[in-house]
Amino acid sequence: MKNQTLKFYCLTFLLLGGLMLFAYQSNAQQAQPNRRPNIPKTWVDAEMEELEVPLADPLASPKHISAADYYQIPELKIYKSYPIYAPGKEPPGYLEWLKKQEPQIIFDAGKLKTEADWIKAGEIVFHASRGTAEVTAEHESRNPNWYEKSGTLLTKDGRYPYAQYVVSEKGKVEYGGFSCALCHTRVMPDGTVLKGAQGTIADDRESAWLLEHEAKVDMEGVRNSLRRFYAAPWVKPDPQANLEQLSLADIIGIGYAIPPGVISRQGTALDLPARVPDLIGIKDRKYLDATGLQLHRGAVDIMRYAALNQGMDQLASFNGFIPRGKDFKTLPDLSNQIRYSDEQLYALAMYLYSLKPPPNPNKFDALAQRGQKVFQSQACAGCHTPPLYTNNKLTPVDGFRVPPEHKKKYDILPMSIGTDPRLALTTRRGTGYYKVPSLKGVWYRGPFEHNGSVATLEDWFDPKRLKDDYVPTGFRGYGIKTRAVKGHEFGLELSAEDKRALIAFLKTL
């Protein structure tokens, strides 16, 4: 009897102990998400020096401003923003209603308690923009011709999802277009929005329209802006030397020649735009930018990439050339610049890491299964390795000699695929390499190649693109009727049936 009583007490003790332990663990797990994450410092001098792959001319590799200077720059205040509608689509009295709204700062890191909170706040940062111009009845966003001439796609309810109206002062509505969302918002064929994807904004065409309709254009101001965005004076011969000779009509024509999904972003060239990168799945990418300019090893590198691409790269010295500098030589007044806070950048990184592709309508049917076999038999996986469908390596362009130290420090394929090397050799983003892109999500992306020369996968596998009389279906270039889209000749000699199967497979990824 005593033994049974002892067993009873022992079992009761163990049961109660187990319940207490379970309760403790449950409470700890519930409390864990409410702990403030360890926010890394965006700008650390020693780490910034090792952040980027050197430029093709290593002497011109950017020397970024110091952390002391960086943290002097005022932080961006993120105000509540509102949708932009195309003319005829907005609610009656919308602009007057906006003028009555009180300004609201909507990013407050102190209120973020859970991972979900940080992701939601990151979406706010993704759309955040400081106002660039007061919106009046004459503003381009209220002009139907602006939309028609640019060809920018709108949502099915008539919204322009790439920018927002910002109210930072009651009674004043501003156009806010300098944000991550500007380039990385895609309107799908059914009018729905895919955030983080290769965007469908026709930004260069919109800028061309503004110049075309400006009452009086300050040509020296325009040329200074072009120098700030594109000049690479260390490259000999200077590929941007013609900026001084371009007429206003030429500059406008170059802008109109750049299609949606491609952009002449800062650090490229006016006539050498780059395909807008897809940010969905960025967590698995080892290099950022088409030229593999920046290393990506974790969230802090995303934070740095966002900071640089929202203006900090123009404060760097490229062998003495400072894009935003006074006379391109001396740093401007940093108190007049704007930067994201570390908390804002961390939230943005968490949001970008959370992005998922949309449901894929393409089925893995018999044709796609045959295409998978073609993919395997053609050794496509050597570069586009499953499951990421990239090996996350860099491939040198023609004309670039790989430095011996790069072979130890970076992931480099010992081969060139022969595509146009100019973006990788003659621009501020030119490392001498292109990164091997992932094939995941090609079904919703396009145009393709590093500069968006072809509109579809079918065009990419058309051997006619190698000929000089080819008419590119994507970016062609101002004043150019035909040109070859050379390089990456893999798969061009497949039979029509195998190509169709291969493309069917690729669209399932």
- Total Cβ atoms within 10 A of residue 252: 21
The one-letter amino acid code at 80 reads K
For residues 405, 411, 417, 422, the Cα torsion angle rounded to the nearest 10 degrees is: -60
Classified as helix, coil or strand, 219 is helix
Q: What is the pLDDT of residue 8?
A: 37
Q: What is the pLDDT of residue 238?
A: 79
Question: Alpha-carbon distance 133 to 142, whole Å?
Answer: 13
List the chain domain ranges: 45-354, 366-392+436-506
Provide the greatest CA pair distance for the chain: 106
Contact 323, 231 (CB under 8 A): yes
Q: What is the pLDDT of residue 132?
A: 73
- Total Cβ atoms within 10 A of residue 43: 21
Tokens for 262? 């491609």
Tokens for 70? 């960086």
Give the list of residues 6+ apart from residue 482 with CB closer than 8 angstroms, or none.
Answer: 468, 469, 470, 471
Q: What is the pLDDT of residue 226?
A: 93
Q: What is the pLDDT of residue 239?
A: 77
Q: Is the dihedral of CA 472, 475, 480, 484 positive or negative?
A: negative
Q: What is the pLDDT of residue 116?
A: 97
Please state which architecture CATH assigns to domain 366-392+436-506.
Orthogonal Bundle (1.10)
Q: What is the pLDDT along the chain (509 residues), one digit of tens a residue?
A: 434 443 433 434 433 344 344 444 444 444 445 678 899 999 999 999 999 999 999 999 999 999 999 999 999 999 999 999 999 999 999 999 999 999 999 999 999 999 999 999 999 999 998 767 889 878 888 899 999 999 889 999 999 999 999 999 999 999 998 899 999 999 999 999 999 999 999 999 999 999 999 889 999 999 999 999 999 999 988 777 788 789 999 999 999 999 999 999 999 999 999 999 999 999 999 999 999 999 999 999 999 999 999 999 999 999 999 999 999 999 999 999 999 999 999 999 999 999 999 999 999 999 999 999 999 999 999 999 999 999 999 999 999 999 999 999 999 999 999 999 999 999 999 999 999 999 999 999 999 999 999 999 999 999 999 999 999 999 999 999 999 999 999 999 999 999 999 999 999 99
Contact 230, 422 (CB under 8 A): no
Question: Alpha-carbon distance 202 to 263, whole Å?
Answer: 8
Contact 350, 115 (CB under 8 A): yes
Contact 107, 78 (CB under 8 A): yes
Which of 403, 422, 410 has its CA nearest to residue 475?
Answer: 422
Classified as helix, coil or strand, 435 is strand
- Residue 160: its H or E element: strand 159-169
Q: State the pairing for strand pair 159-169/185-187.
A: unpaired
Only one residue has tokens 């759309």, namely 127
